[in-house]
Amino acid sequence: MSIMNTSSDSPLHPVAGIRLATACAGIKKPDHRDLVVIEIAEGSQTAAVFTQNAFCAAPVIVAREHLAVTTPGYLLVNTGNANAGTGKQGLADARACCQAVATAAGCQVEAVLPFSTGVIGEPLPVDKITAAVPAALDKLEVAAWEDATWGILTTDTKPKCLSRKLNIDGQSICLTGMAKGSGMIRPDMATMLAYIATDAEIDAPDLQACLQSAVDQSFNRITVDGDTSTNDACLLMATGKSGLCLKQGDAGFELFSQALNELCVELAKAMVRDGEGATKLINIEVMTGTSTEECLDVAYTIAHSPLVKTAFFASDPNWGRILAAVGRAPVSKLDLDKVKIYLDEVCIVEHGGRSPGYTEEQGQQVMDRNEITVRVELGRGQAQANVWTCDFSYDYVRINAEYRT
């Protein structure tokens, strides 16, 4: 059994049973790919995880409703408008878009799941979307993953897509996924959208468990700015077209789960690398805590500190900002004498203060790198957790200040 990795620069493997297409609906600007349709073969299974934001968008509500009554056959994704904060009219608009797909494709309206991303609080331009649906359906093809990755982007500067090939007992299966998101990123599911497909056969409960586990270790461990979107969603589709059936507890299923976890982590890190205005990827690793939750509390306190994030942007080894963030994390009875903090291989804090061997030159060498690990050892248990984040630059402020212009 083996996994062959495919980077985002490599060709994407088509997934038998999945067809995709894009269209230019003119939602926010003309001649821009802003509508994606994904067709899922009959007999497939689909797992989904959605935002926990109480103001979840209309398409999230409708997608949940539809998933509860039938297996999806089509996904409809629009950019340029989030259809969030739009009340009852937003729900009616999301359903109208689903109906347009259902009418053109000849399926139940509940078999269509809607997804939107873009500006919050603006009415969805239903007429533009429904007018573009027939053309998108006419263009559906298995090899359109790359085109679709461009069609789901908003403030992203580049597409995020990956494939994995797995050989299980002499039989080949594949995993291909795409994601979008570079701002309003702190998923709690799960602005981000992710769509992943495999040609393996996996039953619904196992598929959902597999996806939730992968999301918890990837998309739920990233933050650009600490904001949870109203529209986050992550879907995993299993078409079964390879003929290989995977069941929880089997060695093949474990290999698949490992590959899915790795793919989701790489997509999640790609989102952070492409964070709005980001120049550095920061891996925050908190170790020897009493629980995973405690480690995550410390990691997110560091990751969400504007002072820490701006220091990274400036490549300034101002380690006192990291120390202060650790100290204000919600951790009770922290023994400062046991805490150690590292920038990559350089110990910057131990025994309650600056490490005796630390020099400014060592810190500067690390801070000049594009990818940096902040490691915190709490010295109070066996738990650990990772969070990935990025720096704050001038461009983050500019992009978000000008977002609606």
Catalytic residues: 191
DSSP structure string for 314-361: TT---HHHHHHHHHHSS-TT--GGG-EEEETTEEEEETTEE-TT--HH
The closest of 386, 5, 400, 12 to 195, measured between CA atoms, is: 12
Q: Which residues contact 128 (CB under 8 A, 6 or more apart)?
A: 25, 26, 27
d(CA 249, CA 259): 15
d(CA 386, CA 58): 32
| Strands annotated E in 204-351 | 233-238, 281-289, 340-343, 346-350
Q: Tell me if 311 sits within 8 A of 297, measured CB to CB.
A: no
3-state secondary structure of 395: helix
3-state secondary structure of 302: helix
The answer for 204, left when phi > 0, alpha when psi is -120 to 50, beta otherwise, is: alpha
d(CA 122, CA 258): 40
Buried b vs exposed e over 184-211: b needs ≥16 C-beta within 10 Å? bbbbebbbbbbbbbbbbbbeeebbbebb
87-105 vs 58-69: helix crossing angle, rounded to 10: 50
Cross-strand bridge partners of residue 116: 78
Query: From the centroid of its chain, how far is CA 91?
Result: 24
3-state secondary structure of 32: coil
- Residue 371: φ, ψ to 5°: -130, 125
d(CA 405, CA 92): 27
Pairing of strands 193-198, 233-238: parallel
